[in-house]
Amino acid sequence: MGAGKIARGLVVAAFLVIAAGILAACDTNYDLVIENHTDQRIAVTLYDRLVYELQPCSVQIASIAGPGTPSGKGFRVSVRGGDGATLAQAEVQPQRLEGYTQPVILVRIPQEGGDACPAPVEGVFLLVVRNYSQTEATIWLGDARLGTVAPLDQTAFGPLPGTWADVKRVAIRDASNTLISYSARAEYSLGDIPRFFIGFTAPRARQ
């Protein structure tokens, strides 16, 4: 076999591996938004294993990974009431919604016979930052310096104008100005100002 044929074979093999790999370990992030408009506690399950428990009249927002290329398949979601009875099971298709940077898996559980809860507050939020590290950190929202959070402490900033999409604009820096990565999720009652929680850690300081 000539060198040209071998080279061509290798290129074809490489493309086949890449084509297969495009589908493997390839993740898309979605915003999971669960609104419980009922007067009972509920539990929402995705992938038969991720469980989100919600108080009556409350909202939770989280990020969740899913298939990276369009499969046309929705997310199988099941909803249980406080008594454990299944209220609903559905395939939820992600959708683009204003106020979110990622496709949204919207799970809204209505109350039969009319909404039991106050209307959601929109366009404003509280940023609750929990510092699990033992050094002070500075919190930025885009170009705006919000302030500092003491070691092992929590500070609420705001109310600030904006939506869940603004959480992506948060930057946390330690004393040496190094960026610290963080976790974010939201949990609040309908009718209250949305509370977006951010938490981060770092190794204990040497003495």
Partner 1 sequence: MIATRNRVIFRALPTSKPLVARHDVGVSQPPTPDPDWVADFRATHGRDPNEQDWQDYLLSLRYPGTGPNGEWLERDWQVYYRLVDLLGGDLLSRIGKPGGHGTGFYSGIGAFLALWKLEPGPDGTRIAYARNFPAGGIPPNTTGWTWGNTILILESERNNRPLLMHEYTHVLQYRYKGIGYVPNYLKGGVYNWDNNPYEMQGVEVQQIYEWNPWLPPIWEIVWVGGRSQ
Residue numbers at the binding site for Zn ion (CB under 5 A): 27
C-alpha 194/C-alpha 203 separation (Å) is 31
Q: If binding is defined by CB under 8 A, does position 175 make contact with partner 1?
A: no
Output the CA angle 40-117-165, nearest 5 degrees: 100
From 3-11, 34-42, 69-77, 111-119, span contacting partner 1 (CB under 8 A): 69-77
Per the CB < 8 A criterion, the answer to whether 46 and 77 are in contact is yes
Identify which of 40, 60, 33, 61 has the alpha carbon closest to the alpha carbon of residue 116: 40
From 79-87, 98-106, 118-126, 141-149, span contacting partner 1 (CB under 8 A): 98-106
Q: If binding is defined by CB under 8 A, does position 66 make contact with partner 1?
A: yes
Q: If binding is defined by CB under 8 A, does position 171 make contact with partner 1?
A: yes
Q: In terms of CB distance, is 2 or 203 closer to partner 1? A: 203
Q: If binding is defined by CB under 8 A, does position 73 make contact with partner 1?
A: yes
Q: If binding is defined by CB under 8 A, does position 176 make contact with partner 1?
A: no
Identify which of 139, 170, 133 has the alpha carbon closest to the alpha carbon of residue 153: 133
Binds 207: which of Zn ion, partner 1, none (CB < 5-8 Å by kind): partner 1
C-alpha 33/C-alpha 187 separation (Å) is 10
CA distances from 102 to 33, 94, 198, 205 (A): 11, 9, 18, 36
Binds 170: which of Zn ion, partner 1, none (CB < 5-8 Å by kind): partner 1
Q: In terms of CB distance, is 14 or 124 closer to partner 1? A: 14
DSSP 16: H
Per-residue x/- track, 129-158, partner 1 (CB under 8 A): -x-xxx-----------------x------
Cβ count within 10 A of residue 6: 10
Q: How far is the CB of 48 from Zn ion (least distance, A)?
A: 16
Q: How far is the CB of 31 from partner 1 (least distance, A)?
A: 11
CA 64, distance to chain mean position in Å, is 6
Amino acid at 6: I
**Residues sharing a CB contact under 8 Å with residue 62, sequence separation 6 or more, in sequence order:** 31, 32, 52, 185, 186
Q: If binding is defined by CB under 8 A, does position 71 make contact with partner 1?
A: yes
Which residues bind to partner 1, rule: CB under 8 A?
14, 17-18, 20-29, 47-50, 62-71, 73, 76, 101-103, 130, 132-134, 152, 168, 170-172, 179-185, 198-207
